[in-house]
Structures are given as structure tokens and as C-alpha cells.
Amino acid sequence: MMRNSLATQIAKKCKRLPVTIITATKALKYKSLSVWHNAYLELESQNLTMPEFFSKLSYNLLESEEIQQTFLIYACMGQDALISDLVRYCISLGLLQGIDTVREARYRVHKLGARLKDLSLLSESFSSRCFTMQSLIRDAALLIASKRCLYLQ
């Protein structure tokens, strides 16, 4: 199957849900044909909803453990949570490697958040001090977090 054909098949599986189409597109952008094939085969074989599948795919393709864990913490924090709270969680959980000051942590968290926004895993909020996540993506992320035993209370 060629990439265009794979893209068409994957888009059909998205069932016209814009959030899944965007998430799939951004997760697979610039990936090799074998990654596309693997994504399609997983999509065919797994019994997940489309948002769950594409959120899981996006999560698995994130560049580092740091951004994966940050994504899961974002999901656990709820709608329109404060970025300053996320900074505190990341510091207290020791997720940010090579960070010595709160200012550096804040910059790193903003950078990670920007990357997650680029991938459409986060959205702009009503305030620049907050972030938001689509409920379908949040539900899928919470499922991933529960399987990874990441509990944040």
C-alpha cells in the first residue's frame, strides 16, 4: 500500500471526527512508510475507539519519556488547569532532567506544552496561564495513565 492509499484508509477509519483526523495527521507527519503501515495494522487489529487509538499512537510517537509523562500529567489535571501547577508537579515528581531553577522548569514546561499543542494534543485556553485538552484526548490519555499506574491526586 502506498502512503496516499494508507492515508486514505486511515482517514476513513477516523469516521469524520476532526480531532482524530488532526491527531492522526500530526502523529504520522514525517514518519516513514513502515510507521504508517504499522499504525494501519494496529488500527485494524485493536479494539479501541478512534480517539483512544490516535491518542495512544501520538503518545507512543512522542520524542521522550519527559514529554510523554508531561502529557499524562496534563490530562490528570483537568480542564483549564494552571501551567504553574504543572510546573510544580513536574518539579516534585522529578520529571525535568537537568533543571536547576523554577524559572528553567517553567521554560521547559512551556516548551513541552508548545510541542503538545503543535501535535494537537493540547489546545489554547481562555488564558495564557492555563491549558486545555479536548475531552476525547483527555479520556484516552487517562486510559494510558491508568495502565501506566500514573496517579496524580
- Written as nine digits, the cell of 145 is 495513565
Three-state secondary structure along 109-143? HHHHHHHHHHCCCCECCCCCCEEECCHHHHHHHHH
- Written as nine digits, the cell of 102 is 523554577
| CATH number of the 65-147 domain | 1.10.10
CA distance 98 to 11: 40
| 3-class SS shares of the chain: helix, strand, coil, % to 5 | 65, 5, 30
- Written as nine digits, the cell of 39 is 499504525
Q: Output the tens digit of pLDDT for each of the chain's 153 residues.
A: 565 677 777 777 766 677 677 777 777 777 788 877 877 777 777 766 666 776 777 777 788 889 999 999 999 888 888 899 999 999 998 888 889 899 999 999 999 999 898 888 888 888 888 888 888 888 888 888 887 765 444
How many CB atoms sit inside 10 A of residue 20's CB? 24
**Residue carrying the nine cell digits 520529571:** 95
Q: Could you tell me the pTM of the whole model?
A: 0.74
Residues of the chain with CATH 1.10.10: 65-147
The continuous run of DSSP H or E covering 87 comes out as helix 83-92
How many CB atoms sit inside 10 A of residue 2's CB? 9
DSSP readout, 42-107?
A: HHHH----HHHHHHHHHHHTSS-HHHHHHHHHHHHH-TTEEHHHHHHHHHHTT-STT--SHHHHHH
Cβ–Cβ under 8 Å, residues 56 and 45: no
